[in-house]
Amino acid sequence: MTVRKAWIAAGVAVSSALAFVMLLAVGVYVIAGNLANGVGGGAGKALAKGSVPAAYQALVQKWGNYCPAINPALLAAQLYQESGFNPTAQSHAAAQGIAQFIPGTWATHGIDGDGDGDRDVWDPKDAIPSAAAYDCALASYVKDVGGNLTENMLASYNAGAYAVIKYGGVPPYQETQNYVKRIR
């Protein structure tokens, strides 16, 4: 009887883990929308209910329409991938905040999104607009590279526009390929 209970408990644990993974996968798909075809942009694409924490919904909706290369669902999926919407996230590579800017990139591309007179990588009201603006800049840098503009823009965010230009598309870096795939 004890062995049977252990097997049942193990089965329940595995089922719960699989259910969580499936829920996570569906959630990411809902956040990203169906972006597999064409350019990721498109004004007017609404966020799926509950896909973005309430504190960031208006920012993601507004700035996700910053240029034709992005949309709110794509921006939301990117922020989720970067930090899980954690404004205090910090990576082993020194990337900081909700949008995971490295200091040099922030120095060049960080903007004062909330108009309070400072550019704070830790403040989502600055970092989310900065991520959108940076995505749009990256899209313009790689617009003439072959392949899918959205994938090339995302790869540029992760590996740099130079790598995308050098390889004529998403570079052969496993991390970057996985990054693009998870967001798409």
Report the catalytic residues. 82
Question: How many other CB atoms sit within 10 Å of the CB of residue 142?
Answer: 22
Q: Which of 70, 75, 76 is nearest to 137 (CA)?
A: 70
Radius of gyration of the chain (CA): 18
DSSP class of residue 112? -
| SS3 category, 96 | strand
Residues 89 and 96 sit within 8 Å (Cβ to Cβ): yes
